[in-house]
Structure 1
Amino acid sequence: MTQKISLFIYFLLSTSLYSQIHEVGVFLGGSNFIGDIGPTNYINPNEPALGILYKWNKSPRHAYRISYTQTKLASNDLNSNEGSRNLRGYNFENNIKELSLGLEFNFFDFNLHELGNKTTPYIYSGMTYTRYSSLHFNSGEQVDDSRKGTVGIPIILGIKTRLGRMFVLGLEAGARYTFADDIDGSRPANENLSQLSFGNINNNDWYVFSGVTLTYTFGEKPCYCTD
């Protein structure tokens, strides 16, 4: 049985070498935070974000995608529409670095080797790993405890179009639900500081990247059909 499984995996890998097309490029945009400090607008970029990405198109409808993005998350209670947050007046900054791996699904066929205009909406999800500084507040002042990591779930919606024969331009916005609640310092990771918690302790931190992607395409012409 093990031998059959090994042969099957080898067959998939060997055939994919002749039926793949690659994309590599950059992400340029902004970031915003959604949590217990500052405004709660879904798309409200207030800090620049920069990243790189790679896609392996397995069919005209789906691609495996890996990306690295970094930004400074920042938010201020004074920019919130909630009176209680305005009175509290907390603000924070946190430098984050995110690695994401997942599947991108195209709503329409996006075969880059066919002539003519190619445009499609798409959705992406998978898993993220984010490095950040664990924070807490002491007498209203931000305190950085240590660097740590958390996993999360990205949900990205976008639209992309081909530019010429070799480039693809995309516009996307995506929220990341993390399994952490100390990115903004509202719930200290150190249990000895639990008395310093504030806000909704039952809701983890979110952040959003929104911007444009520009990728360069290369690789062997794929054969997505069976004949």
Structure 2
Amino acid sequence: MRLVFLFIVFFSFAFAKAQTYELGIFAGTSNVVGDVGSTQYIQFNDVAIGGVFKWNRSPRHSFRATIISANMVGDDNDSDDISRDLRGLNYDYRMLEASVGIEYTFWDWELYSGRPQFTPYLYTGLTAFHYELFALNNTNELEEYGETTDIAVPIIFGVKMSLTPKLILAAEIGARYTFTDNLDGSSPVRSKDFDNLKFGNLNNNDWYVFSGVTLTYTFGRKPCYCNF
């Protein structure tokens, strides 16, 4: 609920100063980089979908907020690592992510210039995500035992272009560095009894990746850029 409240406050504050806004959808794929499943950094494992809001504060930066729901799956049988393939573990759960931060464009992004716009961009900020917890059970399978919320640092690279003066299409790949090693059940928490159930590389935290496209609609009067 806190994440939803913060998102609403951010959204409302943006509308209090009529500038240039973008509101739209994100659609793409999700994958976890951890100790279970494929060792590839970018995989098209399952669906991720959500909403995105941007407040363009200058030709080079905008404040951005997103909420994304994704299905996170991992299967050792998809790995090129023989030891993982023989182990045969797998997981499947839903994740809900909320993120706020700054999107920086490498070239000027001026929607009111009357010219087609195109630019690469970089986004970072702070992300909170809610997900299910797993641990090995007596039959050596991953079993859900709870839910929790953690934070991550997103690093997203993309390119965007104006389809029309009002519609913006973007494609992006975004990795999230988390502060947990248990997106895949390899390092269960909350009980000392879980210590002997840990496996994999315990010195590295997990990452997860969303790859996809956004389609946003722009509105608001011609911007008068301020000091930030």
Q: Fold conserved (TM > 0.5)?
A: yes
For 1:138-153, what aligned pairs fall within 5 Å after superposition? 138=137, 139-153=139-153
State the shift of 1:83 in Å.
1.1
| 1:83 matches 2:91 | no
Cross-structure match for 1:102: 101
Return 182-191 or 120-129, whichever deviates more. 182-191
**In 2: Cα distance, 1:70 partner to 1:154 partner:** 15
- 1:175 maps to a residue whose letter is A
Cross-structure match for 1:7: none
- 1:144 maps to a residue whose letter is E
State the shift of 1:41 in Å.
1.3
Q: Does the CA-based 8 Å contact 1:94-1:183 persist in structure 2?
A: no
Q: Does the CA-based 8 Å contact 1:30-1:211 persist in structure 2?
A: yes
User: When the two structures are superposed, what TM-score results if normalisation uses the length of structure 2?
Assistant: 0.89
Cross-structure match for 1:221: 222
What is the number of equivalent residue pairs in this alignment? 212
Q: For residues 132-176 of structure 1, give each alpha carbon's deviation from its aligned partner in whole angstroms, at most 9, with x where no partner exists.
A: 011111132221111110000101000000011101000001011
**In 1: Cα distance, 2:135 partner to 2:182 partner:** 7
For 1:74-223, what aligned pairs fall within 5 Å after superposition? 74-138=73-137, 139-189=139-189, 190-223=191-224
Q: Does the CA-based 8 Å contact 1:45-1:209 persist in structure 2?
A: no
State the shift of 1:225 in Å.
8.3
SS at match of 1:152: strand
User: When the two structures are superposed, what TM-score results if normalisation uses the length of structure 1?
Assistant: 0.89
For 1:51-70, what aligned pairs fall within 5 Å after superposition? 51-70=50-69
**In 2: Cα distance, 1:208 partner to 1:191 partner:** 30
**In 2: Cα distance, 1:66 partner to 1:223 partner:** 21
Q: For residues 25-78 of structure 1, give each alpha carbon's deviation from its aligned partner in whole angstroms, at most 9, with x where no partner exists.
A: 000111111100011212211101101010000001000000000111001111
For 1:20-31, what aligned pairs fall within 5 Å after superposition? 20-31=19-30
Structure 1 stretches lacking a partner, 5+ long: 1-12
Aligned-residue Cα RMSD (Å) equals 1.7
State the shift of 1:124 in Å.
0.3
What is the aligned-residue identity percentage? 44
Q: Does the CA-based 8 Å contact 1:94-1:184 persist in structure 2?
A: no
Cross-structure match for 1:17: 17
**In 2: Cα distance, 1:46 partner to 1:202 partner:** 25
- 2:113 maps to a residue whose letter is E
State the shift of 1:191 in Å.
2.4
Q: Does the CA-based 8 Å contact 2:39-2:81 persist in structure 1?
A: no
**In 2: Cα distance, 1:45 partner to 1:124 partner:** 21
**In 1: Cα distance, 2:193 partner to 2:221 partner:** 57
Q: For residues 161-210 of structure 1, give each alpha carbon's deviation from its aligned partner in whole angstroms, at most 9, with x where no partner exists.
A: 00111010000010111111222100011322110000001111111000
**In 2: Cα distance, 1:191 partner to 1:55 partner:** 43
**In 1: Cα distance, 2:163 partner to 2:88 partner:** 46
Cross-structure match for 1:49: 48
The structure with the larger Rg is: 1
Mark the CA change 1:150 to 1:225 in structure 2 (over 3 Å): closer, same or farther.
closer
**In 2: Cα distance, 1:225 partner to 1:130 partner:** 32
Q: Does the CA-based 8 Å contact 1:35-1:206 persist in structure 2?
A: yes
**In 2: Cα distance, 1:183 partner to 1:95 partner:** 11
SS at match of 2:205: coil
